[in-house]
Chain A
Amino acid sequence: MSLPASSGGLGRWLGDHIAQIVLIPTLLASFAYVVLFSVWTFWLSVSTSTMLPDPTFSGFGEYAALWQSKRWTVSFSNLFVFGTFYVIGAMVVGTLLAILIDQRVKFEAVWRTIFLYPLAISFIVTGTVWRWIFHPQTGVELALHDMGWISAQFDWITDRDLALYVVVITAIWHASGFAMALILAGLRSVDGDIVKAAQIDGASVPRTYARVILPTIWPIFLAVAVVLLQFAIKTYDLVVALTQGGPGVATTVPAIVVFDLMFERGQIAQGSAAAVMILVALGIVLIPYALYMRWRKRQEGGDHG
């Protein structure tokens, strides 16, 4: 609503603009946080900074150096593999769980609570616990040996080729409940008459889901995928607690490289360049999605009025 403009008096002016005035502290903080901090980090990435920040401009050399470093390219391809398996895995498991719970099961709240609780637990705790389970000296392998299966081998976490999948499994354990919760909410919003119509048309239950129910909630799948991708790109704590990026660089992800460059190796400029690359990756996921959502909203708005 636009308010009647008023004339005269500072008190009056303050009264009329109180909303804007109250918002100022948050706006300043948000502006500093979102804009200034980003520009700052970007500036560091094109500066000569090493151990300490140094504002002298030096160009985009650190970006080139970053993309030539093996560690960074490996971390990016790790992120790609991890992100793909993680997003698809969490969504498949989440969809399956949502459909199972959707069958009017008894104690629905209990099942939901069980599948969603990992999300309340920190990545640090999650990673620590699963490291113990996956580690051959403390976890599954040892248990199998004790049960008499001496030749059993389960050492993915120390295997360069398989360690990344340990991260994937753990991350799916953590996030599939999230996918389940959102998809279940979507399933519950589907018009019941459509489902009845499909039943009368003779569709089996799996076919009803595949052809009628799930396609109507595809925007939810898109939203879940975007959020999970965003989680994947920001992944840091989980890997630190689970594998510390190893063995070697087998599970190193971009966020770990940023930390190392900035705080361990005294290469602030290159670390900043790596941070900017993470921002770019997020932008590649989020900007098209945001634009698409706006476009869709406008389309719907046009339909209604």
Chain B
Amino acid sequence: MAETTHADFDALSTGSLRRRITAKAIVYALLTVFALFYLMPIVIILANTLRPLDDIVRTGFIAWPADPSLSHWAEAWSTFCIGGTCEGVSRYFKNSLAMAIPATIISTMLGLINGYILSKWRFRGADLLFGLITLGVFLPPQMTLLPWAWVLGNVGLSNTISGLILVHVVQGVSFTTLFCRNYFLAIPDDLIKAARIDGAGFWRIFRRIVLPLSPPIVIVAVIWQFTGIWNEFLFGTIFTSGDKQPITAAIVAFSGSGTGERHYNVEAAAVIMAALPPLFIYLVGGKYFVRGLTSGAVK
């Protein structure tokens, strides 16, 4: 990177005071307009979780909340009827957790080890194998649906959360290996050589030298995997049904079925619940989220 970067220099801070103030005013005005557009949907939905149903039906989603009440949240969580069962989204929320947490942990651990091997224990053909693994990032899921259905059926994991975990681990390892391998490339080879001369072997170097340097990429991988798996819909809707479905599939199941009376306020609360875990992770680890984006995309 250059000695001084563009970030050190504020182009708009030159010239006359009046010019500077006008320029800054335009910048902030535009930013505010865009920010309102980006925040609008989430604000609207949040507001509607609090409104009584008849109010929504009468005036639509875009209206000032009257008689706010938190009761729809409770209903959405535990008593709302989806596909005949009236247990709210709590079951599907837990399904998603039971799927996303193990799949995230397993794929991240595998990615760390693979990345370590493919960057620091390179052997003939290692780059080719790395290419093969990362092709999984780009493979459209439609190419894998029928084979997966057959595999899951034959190992007895049809319509199980374990089956979804397997699917997400295999797909996720492509991502985590890509992240970790590229991150580990920046660790100097001399460190590994020094450790080998110091008598450390494969696992000891991994545990004592590489893992202690890994927290940034572990955070990136965990955020990226958890968000991706939580938000995934296609595998969830095809490989599971009924009360085994993850929350994305459940949301489509109740809000997509256009017939019957709509409970917009409860549905809005359910939608917010589906969005909350990844949003929470994003707000807590935003910096790493961006870093994951950059390293995943620029590669």
Complex CA distance for A26 and B174, rounded to whole angstroms = 9
Selected from A102, A128, A130, the residue in CB contact (under 8 A) with B251 is A128
Task: State how many residues of chain B have any CB contact under 8 Å with chain A.
Answer: 102
Which residues of A have CB within 8 Å of B170?
29-30, 32-33
Alpha-carbon distance between A23 and B132 when the two chains are bound, in angstroms? 13
A31 touching B6, Cβ below 8 Å: no
Closest Cβ of chain A to B260, distance in Å, is 15
Q: Does B198 contact A (CB under 8 A)?
A: no
Residues of B within 8 A of A224 (CB): 297
Are B41 and A124 in contact, CB atoms less than 8 angstroms apart? no
Are B290 and A181 touching (Cβ within 8 A)? yes
Which residues from 82 to 128 on chain A have a C-beta closer than 8 Å to any C-beta of chain B? 93, 96-97, 100-105, 109, 111-126, 128
CB–CB B34/A115 < 8 A: yes
User: Which residues on A sit within 8 Å (CB–CB) of B39?
Assistant: 114
Of A13-21, A60-68, A160-168, which binds chain B? A13-21
**Which residues on A sit within 8 Å (CB–CB) of B37?**
173
Do the beta carbons of B256 and A103 come within 8 Å of each other? no
Q: Give the chain A neighbours of B281 by CB distance below 8 A.
A: 120
Cβ contacts under 8 Å, A126 to chain B: 41
Bound Cα distance from A258 to B143, whole angstroms: 10
Bound-complex Cα distance A126 to B264 (A): 15
Q: Given A114-B38, A173-B38, do A205 and B12 touch, yes or no (CB 8 Å)?
A: yes
Contacts of A10 on B, CB cut-off 8 Å?
none
Q: Is the CB of B294 within 8 A of A124?
A: no
Q: Are B251 and A104 in contact (CB under 8 A)?
A: no
Q: What is the predominant secondary structure among interface residues of chain B facing chain A?
A: helix
Interchain CB contact under 8 A, A276 and B129 = no
Contact status A104-B12, CB under 8 Å: yes
Contact A19 B121 (CB under 8 A): yes
For A177, the chain B residues whose CB sits under 8 A away are: 38
CB distance A19 to B12 under 8 Å?
no
Residue-wise interface mask of A (1-42) relative to B, using a CB-CB cutoff of 8 A (1 in contact, 0 not): 110000000000001001110110011011111111110110
Q: Which residues of B contact A113 (CB under 8 A)?
A: 283, 286
Is A46 part of the binding interface, using a Cβ–Cβ cutoff of 8 Å? no
| Most chain A beta-carbon contacts within 10 A, residue among B2, B7, B227 | B7
Residues of A within 8 A of B12 (CB): 103-104, 205
Contact status A40-B147, CB under 8 Å: yes
Indicate whether A157 reaches chain B with its CB closer than 8 angstroms.
no
- Verify B138–A19 contact, CB threshold 8 A: no
Query: Are the C-beta atoms of B234 and A122 separated by less than 8 Å?
Result: no
A191 to chain B, nearest CB (A): 4
B61's partner among A18, A133, A263 (CB-CB below 8 A) is: A133
Which residues does chain B contribute within 8 Å of A35, judged by CB atoms? 132
Instruction: Out of B34, B142, B268, B297, name the residue touching A182 (CB < 8 Å).
Output: B297
Q: Are B144 and A240 in contact (CB under 8 A)?
A: no
Kindly state the separation between the CA atoms of A20 and B122 in the bound complex, as whole angstroms. 9
B60 adjacent to A122 (CB under 8 Å): no
Assess whether A116 is in contact with B290, with CB atoms less than 8 Å apart: yes
Question: Assuming the A-B contacts A19-B202, A190-B6, are A178 and B293 also in contact, with contact meaning beta carbons closer than 8 angstroms in the complex?
Answer: yes
Interface contact A103-B147, CB-CB below 8 Å: no
B1-31 residues at the A interface, CB under 8 angstroms: 1-14, 23-24, 27-28, 30-31
Given the complex of chains A and B, what is the CA–CA distance between A280 and B114 in angstroms? 29
Interface string of B244-277 (1 = CB under 8 A from A): 0000100110011000000010011001001100
User: B residues within 8 A CB of A262?
Assistant: 145-146
A-B contact pairs, 25 of them (CB 8 A): A26-B114, A26-B173, A27-B132, A27-B133, A33-B144, A97-B31, A105-B31, A111-B31, A116-B290, A117-B282, A120-B278, A121-B231, A128-B251, A129-B45, A129-B271, A138-B60, A187-B7, A190-B2, A191-B6, A196-B9, A220-B298, A223-B297, A230-B138, A278-B140, A279-B140
Given A2-B123, A133-B62, output 10 extra A-B contacts at Cβ < 8 Å.
Answer: A33-B171, A34-B136, A104-B10, A120-B227, A196-B9, A223-B298, A233-B140, A234-B140, A236-B234, A272-B146
